[in-house]
Each structure stands twice: as C-alpha cells, then as structure tokens.
C-alpha cells in the first residue's frame, strides 16, 4: 500500500524495532531514517516536536552520557540551545519519532504509532518481549 510514513529509527532500540514492525504489520514500508547517522534538520526536529505536542525537554533523552556530561538537567538552557545539542549529539533525540499524514508521534510505547497509521493492522502482533498488542483480527488490545 502506498503511504507516506517516516520513522526516525535506531535499530539498537527495542521500542524502535517494535514500532517499525507495527508499521510493517499494517502493510506499510516506511521511509526509515537512521537518525544517529543522518539527523533531521533543525527545522524538521522543531516541527516533529511541535507536531507531536511535546516540549523540547520531553523530546530529549536524559539517560545518555551527553545529557549529564553537558549538564542539560539545568533549567537555564533554552529550547533552542537544547535543540542545538540534540543535533550535535543525535543520541539525545528520543526515539522513535514517526511522521504520517495523520500526525506525528514519539512512539513510546511503540503502540502509540497505531494512532497515526493510515492503514489497519493486518494480523496479530506481539512485541519482542512477548506482550500482545494486536489480536489476530488486527484489533488493538490496549
């Protein structure tokens, strides 16, 4: 099926892998952006954060070394400064962001992506840890 779906993906992240698999379970082959190698532009990042109704602080990963090394927990950093750090150190960008014609979401947990997919699930889906998300009829379980 044709659809414009883009995922900012980190293949090392289970949530990102589960999100990509849910997109594919709807019969969609998304554009996959390996954002650690090819970060979004400043405008793209700002737009994704805004479109997902997040604050910049909600979109930044706080459990990685650059966050603590740079002292980003201090409240005096502006949003623009935080975005600059996120682009300089893409590991600071929380993931996975998914952009579709129906909206933008930070898919944490991965099933949040179901809210913005243009096509229904084609069958059952369980996360890598075995948690069932979609039943055999393609219906969301939670």
Amino acid 3: pLDDT? 66
Residue numbers of the domain that contains 50: 6-134
The pLDDT tens digits of the residues spanning 47-83 come to 999 999 999 999 999 999 999 999 999 999 999 999 9
Kindly list the distances between the CA atom of residue 100 and the CA atoms of 9, 17, 35, 47, 73, in Å, as whole numbers in the listed order.
14, 17, 17, 13, 31
Provide the domain count of the chain: 1
Q: Is residue 140 part of a domain?
A: no
- Please give the pLDDT value at position 2: 55
In a domain, residue 1? The reply is: no
pLDDT digits (tens, 9 = 90+) for 11-33: 999 999 999 999 999 999 999 99
**Interval 92-131: pLDDT, tens:** 999 999 999 999 999 999 999 999 999 999 999 999 999 9
**pLDDT, tens digit, for every residue of 31-54?**
999 999 999 999 999 999 999 999
Please give the DSSP secondary-structure letter assigned to residue 122.
-
The verdict on residue 139 lying in a domain is no
Does any domain span residue 94?
yes
> Which residue in 2, 1, 5 sits closest to 101, CA to CA?
5
Residue 62 lies in a domain: yes
Q: Where residue 124 sits, what CATH number does that domain have? A: 3.40.30.10
The verdict on residue 110 lying in a domain is yes
For this structure, is 13 an active site residue?
yes
Does residue 85 lie within any of the structural domains?
Answer: yes
Q: Which residue among the candidates 5, 6, 13, 95 is catalytic per the annotation?
A: 13
79 is a domain residue: yes
């Amino acid at each position: 099926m044709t659809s414009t779906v883009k995922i900012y993906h980190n293949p090392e992240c289970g949530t990102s892998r589960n999100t990509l698999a849910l997109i594919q379970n709807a019969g969609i082959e998304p554009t996959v952006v390996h954002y650690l190698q090819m970060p979004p532009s400043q405008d793209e990042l700002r737009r994704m954060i805004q479109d997902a109704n997040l604050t910049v602080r909600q979109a930044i990963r706080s459990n990685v070394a650059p966050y603590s090394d740079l002292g980003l927990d201090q409240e005096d950093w502006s949003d623009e400064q935080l975005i600059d750090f996120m682009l300089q150190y893409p590991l600071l960008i929380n993931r996975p962001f998914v952009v579709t014609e129906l909206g933008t979401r930070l898919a944490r947990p991965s099933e949040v992506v179901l809210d913005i997919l243009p096509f229904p699930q084609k069958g059952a889906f369980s996360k890598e840890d075995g948690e069932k998300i979609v039943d055999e009829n393609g219906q969301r379980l939670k």
